[in-house]
Amino acid sequence: AYLYGLSPADAPQIKEIHCMVLVPQIGTHKDFKLPKKMPDEKTHPALKGLEFIGVIHTQPEEKKYLPPEDVVMANNLKVDWDLSLNVVINCAFTQGSCYLNAYRFTEKAIKWVKGVGGAITPATDMKQYNTQCYNRAQLLLSKKFLGFFLVPDDGVWNYNMMGVRWSNTLDYKLVVGRPLEFFAPKHRPMHFIAFSESKDDEDTYAVDIQDAFH
């Protein structure tokens, strides 16, 4: 999700996250893809006056470093990434716990990602990507204020189970709402179609069998 927020009047060095924007996306346990279109106050007036803070994404296990795929992702966004402000937050769900880690890129990370052509391939030289490419950012959790979500107006943000419908040029409109679950029915309509067809086949097969006792 994209993160948007503001600094409190008495602490300009702090950024409070007010909004998380879930746009149509597709991904794996290693990386994810987002549309070229970036949210702004034109896509929803609730973003007016808010700053782009960064990106938050999940991963299957906690890592003690910033994955290089995150640098590639940020480089491909249609936004001016501020090295002193913008962050990537990794959220790892492990058994019985949840870990949050925030990172900021350095100039070396930007130089590295430009040098590899903005993409990681089997031929990419990873030796130049190291701990000098990022710094940890301080992350504080608070219950003092409530934020909100912006989601696509049709509710669908997870295209993993209908990848043929996803494109990086996908257009979308946003509304304030609660994100659907990852496995929500709207995110996997083909599963229900396949189930319905298999059920019809079972019914057809059943009427073709004669009951020998009646």
The yes-or-no verdict on residue 195 having pLDDT over 80 is: no
158-191 per-position pLDDT tens digit: 999 888 888 999 999 999 999 999 999 898 887 6
DSSP 9: T
Q: What is the pLDDT of the chain when averaged over all its residues?
A: 88
Q: Which residues of 99-132 are buried (b: 16+ CB within 10 A; e: fewer)?
A: eebbbbbbeebbebbeebeeebeeebeeeebeee
Backbone φ and ψ for 202, nearest 5 degrees, come out as -65, -40
* Structure token pair of residue 125: 């030289």
Query: Which of 150, 64, 48, 152 is closest to 101 using CA atoms?
Result: 64
47-102 per-position pLDDT tens digit: 999 999 999 999 988 998 999 999 999 999 989 899 989 999 999 988 889 999 99
pLDDT band of 212, cuts 50, 70, 90: low
pLDDT band of 210, cuts 50, 70, 90: low
101-137 per-position pLDDT tens digit: 999 999 999 999 999 998 999 889 899 999 999 999 9
Angstrom distance (rounded) from CA 205 to CA 2:
50
Cα within 13 Å of Cα(37), Cβ side:
20
* CB 188 within 8 Å of CB 209: no
* CB 49 within 8 Å of CB 82: no
Backbone φ and ψ for 74, nearest 5 degrees, come out as -65, -35
130-to-13, 62, 64, 71, 197 alpha-carbon distances in Å: 27, 17, 12, 12, 51
